[in-house]
Chain A
């Protein structure tokens, strides 16, 4: 009988200990995981913004892309994050090629993050 009671206390302590460890781990994982997911979402949104900016410039046509310019496309806000986008147009390896670089930057957890996407455009009309 005594053994049985002693076991109960030990078990309770053990159970509490196990649960505490598990819950602590869980509580640690949860915000980390949540933050990672949030960070990935923010990054994905930045990728999309960069890609959209590239597509928009690509659709303008080769001749309208002025070399050696940096266009500030301003800021946009989504999910509580403010993104700044710039497009840089530069010469390619020959006169019939131009390079577009889209850079999107944002603040996340006090740090400035940035993605950079690039595409090259040849001087050929889509027909």
Chain B
């Protein structure tokens, strides 16, 4: 008994002790587990945020470089490493397009397949479709690894016909097709092997947003028919693609004809009464209603108003009118490679038949209607006003890639007593940036966002800045480059202009070249006096805006829209031709200040009289890259 009592006493104590210890350990264990889970969740959040940050950084760089980032460059340039201030030690976000770098960092590689228009290529864990970029972002934090994959799609413009309003074809005989190369249409016949989809898009919302009627001749469409509304079909209509009703609106390029105003260019025009031959750039100050035949000999006709041509267009060149364009009559439309027929208003083409009337390039209307009848267009038909209705009757519209939308051209430029240099490079990128920060990229090395400015503060060239109302920031453009190149490790942008503004000169000015050399001229009255440099100044949206009439010197895009009472258009980002520069010196507070403009590019400097360049009306260039880029997949990766 006593032994039993003794035993029970110590056993009880030990048992209680053991229970207590167990309880203590359990509590400690629970606490530890709780803390561990809590820390892990916190680390997961950091890792996920880091992975997302690396992805967003990559997306921003891709948009910034218009798809270039990740495609070329050194392994380091193709790799993004992100760190957060205050994050645990060693936490980082990683993304790379370089397989060697990916192996070294033990992360998945991202795949760039944007240039490839046809085939998918193998990416990390999946095939990457053409015109896509596959991104894999990795976040690491205290042993927690989070991976997220994103698929970006940047489709090229593929519509044979696009309308912001309705599309109608009710007389039959319409054909909408596509080819890979213009040669495929050379004999007028597109074989089955040569045939590509020709798509139609109409952003109208009505039940007959697309109305296809195949009575009086069959209607054949080799691609998709897409609309925000519905498709109405009657008679013999064949659609080889899909009918996409109540779809998202299609991205349709918008072109501002005013941006192509050649200004006071008294350039050679060989005009016979009734007929007009344009060999250079011609600006008609007002409507031009009495042209019989327009012959484009590598020429460029800009009409500030309506244009009526009664006997068609022949040759190669560009026709732009701020008003309506009407091509009527008995004469043939035989533009070999007209590249662009752009009307700020309505556009009417009444040809002699699909085989007789032929146009190659963009046919564009910013008005209420675009009508085409009995003609063939190889290129694209675009109605992109507020709500432009497009109508095609017995017409053949064949979509082709950008090859048909570009041609080289040369013309002799002269103005006044001296030689007046124009930049002949006309493309949508002539708009100066709406966001100057973007241009800061190009003042460095293209594609490299993280490097410092190319110039030390003391070496900075003259620059221009203005106050952007939308971003409420000063933005900058460099016009004069005085040999910054050696400092930029191989980046060699074209030298634009070597003149330097006089010391202390801050007035708006144009630099132009005469017999003596580069001369700066100033104009404050904006009276359009041809004896003066074509510089205009006006106020819009509370900001002073300067604009020249010379092409390539258009310093604003927002102001025109504001002045016209419309929403500012999403002009495309600039290309490397435009040099921006982030200048951190003190800024004037007067909203807009321009030190100098450039009036010629490197071509003009090499030759006093003959200008050359290329003109391209690729619809893709009129669609802002960031706006047409789509995230088609965003998901965690195991």
Contacts and interface: CB of A to CB of B under 8 A. Distances in A.
Interface of A: 1, 4-5, 7-8, 11-12, 14-16, 18-19, 22-23, 25-26, 29-30, 32-34, 36-37, 40-41, 43-44, 47, 51, 54, 91-97, 101, 115-127
Interface residues of B, number: 56
Given A16-B13, A94-B64, 6 more contacts: A5-B2, A93-B61, A95-B440, A96-B626, A116-B84, A126-B631
A119 B630 contact: no
Contact of B41 (A22, A23, A37, A44): A44
Contacts of B45: 47, 51, 117
Interface of B: 2-3, 5-6, 9-10, 12-14, 16-17, 20-21, 23-24, 27-28, 30-31, 34-35, 38-39, 41-42, 45-46, 49, 52-53, 55-57, 59-61, 63-64, 82, 84-87, 248, 435, 437-438, 440-441, 449-450, 626-627, 629-631
Top 3 nearest A-B pairs (CB, nearest first) are A15-B13, A95-B437, A97-B60
Contact of B35 (A15, A40, A115, A117): A40
B64 A95 contact: yes
A16 B541 CA distance: 88
26 contacts: A8-B9, A14-B13, A18-B14, A19-B13, A23-B20, A26-B23, A29-B27, A30-B24, A33-B28, A33-B30, A36-B34, A37-B31, A93-B57, A93-B61, A94-B437, A94-B441, A95-B435, A95-B438, A95-B440, A96-B626, A97-B57, A116-B85, A118-B85, A119-B56, A122-B57, A123-B626
Contact of A127 (B53, B438, B631): B631
Contacts of B248: 127
A115 B86 CA distance: 8
B631 A124 contact: yes
A93 B449 contact: yes
A100 to B, nearest CB: 10
A1 to B, nearest CB: 7
A20 B85 CA distance: 48
A15 B84 contact: no
Contacts of B626: 96, 123-124
B63 A117 contact: no
SS class, residues of chain B in contact with chain A = helix
Contacts of B42: 43-44, 47, 115
B57 A18 contact: no
A126 B86 CA distance: 29
Contacts of B86: 116, 118
Task: Name which of A7, A15, A43, A96 has the most chain B CB atoms within 10 A of its CB.
Answer: A96
Contact of A93 (B5, B60, B627): B60
Contacts of A29: 24, 27-28
Contact of A36 (B17, B23, B35): B35
Contacts of A41: 34, 38
Q: Chain A's interface: helix, strand, loop or mixed, by majority?
A: helix
B34 A37 contact: yes
A49 to B, nearest CB: 12
B38 A92 contact: no
Given A4-B6, A8-B6, A118-B84, A127 B30 contact: no
Contact of A11 (B9, B23, B38): B9
Contacts of A118: 49, 53, 84-87
B27 A120 contact: no
B57 A15 contact: no
A4 B3 contact: yes
A18 B13 contact: yes
Nearest to A121: B56
A120 B629 contact: no
B56 A120 contact: yes
Contacts of A126: 631
